[in-house]
């Protein structure tokens, strides 16, 4: 695969990661890093569902499901367990100030890491997420 094809594939994986993490309820800051790791994982596990090099040339890319499986294998499980007030607001569950006030006033179980409040994602979903 040429370096141009590789870059196009990495860009495609980045877009898939954005869609997946939005569905999961958070964003990954270093997309390039994770895209490269996903690509390597897919190659090692032959999950890319591409039969021949020509499919790469014709715009064939790893499936969304394959990218999601790779992300779950790469990202530490702990990242799924906590959520910040800013992430609550990004998801549209509540305003950031509302979530922060809930943390500060003990209305939801939370702890501080530096200046950032962290709460269990499960608790935040139960309190603010609309079905």
> Of 33, 51, 76, which marks where a domain is finished?
76
Contact 17, 35 (CB under 8 A): yes
**Tokens representing residue 113 in the block:** 């890491």
Q: Are residues 101 and 65 in the same domain?
A: no
Residues near 130 by beta carbon (within 8 Å), at least 6 away in sequence: 93
The string of pLDDT tens digits covering residues 30-55 is 788 888 888 888 877 764 444 334 34
What is the rounded CA–CA span in Å between residue 3 and residue 112?
A: 44
What DSSP element (H or E) covers 76?
none
Query: In terms of domains, do 15 and 62 share one?
Result: yes
Q: Residue 97: give the domain boundaries.
A: 81-128
Statement to judge: residues 27 and 44 lie in one domain: yes
pLDDT tens readout for residues 96-109: 999 999 999 999 98
Task: State the angle between helix axes of 31-45 and 64-74 in degrees (0 to 180), rounded to the nearest 10.
Answer: 100
CATH number of the domain encompassing residue 122: 1.10.10
Question: Hey, is 18 helix, strand or coil?
Answer: helix
Q: Which of 58, 16, 22, 18 is nearest to 39 (CA)?
A: 16
Residues 90 and 49 grouped into a single domain: no
Domain count of the chain?
Answer: 2
Tokens of 38: 């996903």
Q: How confident is the model at residue 25 (pLDDT cuts 50, 70, 90)?
A: low
Q: pLDDT band for position 57 (50/70/90)?
A: very low
Distance between terminal CA atoms of the chain? 44
Instruction: Looking at the structure, tell me whether residues 16 and 31 fall in a common domain.
Output: yes
Mapping DSSP to helix (H, G, I), strand (E, B) and coil, where does residue 73 land? helix
38 lies in the same domain as 8: yes
> What is the band of 85 on the pLDDT scale with cuts at 50, 70, 90?
very high
Give yes or no: residues 15 and 67 share one domain. yes
Question: How big is the CA angle at 90 (ends 26 and 126), to the nearest 5 degrees?
Answer: 80
Query: 41 and 20 in one domain?
Result: yes
């Amino acid at each position: 695969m040429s370096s141009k094809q590789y870059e196009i594939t990495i860009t495609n994986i980045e877009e898939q990661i954005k869609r997946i993490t939005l569905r999961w309820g958070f964003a990954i800051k270093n997309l390039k890093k994770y895209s490269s790791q996903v690509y390597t994982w897919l190659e090692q596990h032959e999950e890319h569902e591409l039969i021949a090099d020509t499919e790469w040339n014709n715009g064939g890319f790893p499936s969304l499901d394959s990218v999601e499986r790779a992300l779950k294998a790469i990202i530490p499980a702990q990242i799924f367990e906590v959520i910040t007030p800013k992430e609550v607001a990004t998801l549209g569950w509540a305003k950031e100030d509302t979530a922060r006030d809930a943390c500060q006033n003990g209305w939801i179980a939370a702890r501080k890491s530096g200046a950032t409040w962290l709460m269990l994602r499960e608790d935040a979903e139960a309190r603010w997420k609309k079905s």
